[in-house]
Structure 1
Amino acid sequence: MATEIITKDDLNEFRELLLNDFKTLLQGKQPQENTKWLKSYQVKNMLKISPGTLQNLRVKGTIRYTKIGGILYYKQEDIQRLLEGKG
């Protein structure tokens, strides 16, 4: 059974998402569906690739990413599209 470590950055990201959802609800709008974000190690495991290959995919623009506080995040839907050959 794999153990996941929750970092302060993870908690801060969760807090921001939760606050945004509350603000949206208070404004009478429907909250947007939260995008599932993956970290590099999760993407490498899904695609069964090395860190260097993942870096090459980023450099070539094959995989989009967002960098927050030194951590790279990838949209799960983008990775899924890549796995399905639609990326």
Structure 2
Amino acid sequence: MNVELVTKEDLQELESRLLAAIKKLVPMEGQGASKKWLKSNEVRKLLKISPGTLQNLRINGTLSFTRIGSLIYYKQDDIDKLLEGGLQ
């Protein structure tokens, strides 16, 4: 049996790598006009829907999403397709 110890430095390095990967996926606020991912409140404002309606769109599979921690993100492309009536 091989036992490896994980140090604080190992965990800090992992945290740094994970944060860098997340930052590549989710643009920070104010980074250009065209965002790749939108937060729930942005989607609700754009679609003019309630939190419950947005939840129903997630539940019934109409709108795909990605959860990172407690935040939910939606692809701008999927929102555009939904607005055009092409997302099933």
Q: Which ranges of structure 1 fall in alignment gaps of 5 or more residues?
A: 1-11, 19-34
CA–CA separation in structure 2 for the residues paired with 1:13 and 1:66: 17
TM-score (norm 1): 0.62
Report the alpha carbon displacement of residue 15 of structure 1 after superposing the two structures with TM: 6.5
The Cα RMSD (Å) is 2.2
- Segments ≥4 residues shifted beyond 3 Å: 12-16
What is the aligned-residue identity percentage?
57
Q: Which has the larger radius of gyration?
A: 2
Identify the residue that residue 69 of structure 1 maps to in structure 2: 69
Q: Which ranges of structure 2 fall in alignment gaps of 5 or more residues?
A: 1-18, 26-34
How many residue pairs get aligned? The number is 60
State yes or no: 1:17 paired with 2:63. no
Q: Deviations over 1:25-61 (max 9, x none)?
A: xxxxxxxxxx700000000001000000000000000
